[in-house]
Amino acid sequence: MSLIINERSQPTTNELIIMMGKPRKARWLLDAIRSTAAAAEAGAAAYASSATSNVVVSPSSADVISAEHKGSFSRTLVSTDAQTTLKGSDIHAAVSSASAEMLLRQELEEKLRSQTKLAAAQELRRSDRDNLRTAQQAAKRDIKAAERMADEVKHAARADFERCIGEMRAKMQAERLREQLDALQISMEAEARRADAAARGGEVKALHNINKMEGIMHIFLYLYTYFGPI
């Protein structure tokens, strides 16, 4: 019985080391690592158990073997024992190599798990950075919206202030006009009294006073037309 292991059915150690940089793509190697080592040990054990049964001599045929055949058979047994010993050492070397390979693969498997955890942690940090960047962008948008609202409120307050100032100025101007009209009315009444007193002095002077009064009345009507009743 011979031990046959297809070494290319699974990736080599060097290939496994190269693929350590790709933990997501190398996950399928974990089962292959375990199955390869188990198959090597099982095959070596089966070969060792069957190596001792390669030569079977029937007791009933021992009496008919001639001396020449006995010598040839003895040499065959010696050769078979030597081959069995040689194959046993090969099996031991193969088992040792398989054990070393299995230990190395276990170490690489542990490194692969560590790199997988590291990749997951990096992915989590990347997600946290993306979330933080999104929150910062949302905060910037909120700040800009608040600034726009503040500008609108400021412009509205300025417009209200200017409107109030305009109303105050209009009131002050109306007050001054009212005072001027009061003074004009007093002056007109004084002129009327003087005109009455001077009516006896002559018709020309009275006519002059009348014309003056008409001019004053025109001024009053002008102010009344443009500023309304005061």
pLDDT tens digits for 88-118? 566 667 667 777 878 888 888 888 888 888 9
Distance CA 51, CA 45 (A): 10
Cβ-contact 184, 220 below 8 angstroms: yes
Band of pLDDT at residue 31, cut at 50, 70 and 90: low
- For residue 164, CA distances in Å to 155, 160, 177 come to 14, 6, 20
Number of C-beta neighbours around residue 210 at 10 A: 12
Instruction: Rounding to the nearest 10 degrees, give the CA dihedral for residues 181, 186, 187, 191.
Output: 140
Express as a percent the part of the chain with pLDDT over 70.
49
pLDDT at 84: 47
DSSP state of 4: -
Average model confidence (pLDDT) for the chain? 68
pLDDT tens digits for 68-91? 444 454 454 444 444 545 455 666
Cβ-contact 173, 225 below 8 angstroms: no
149 token code pair: 């609202």
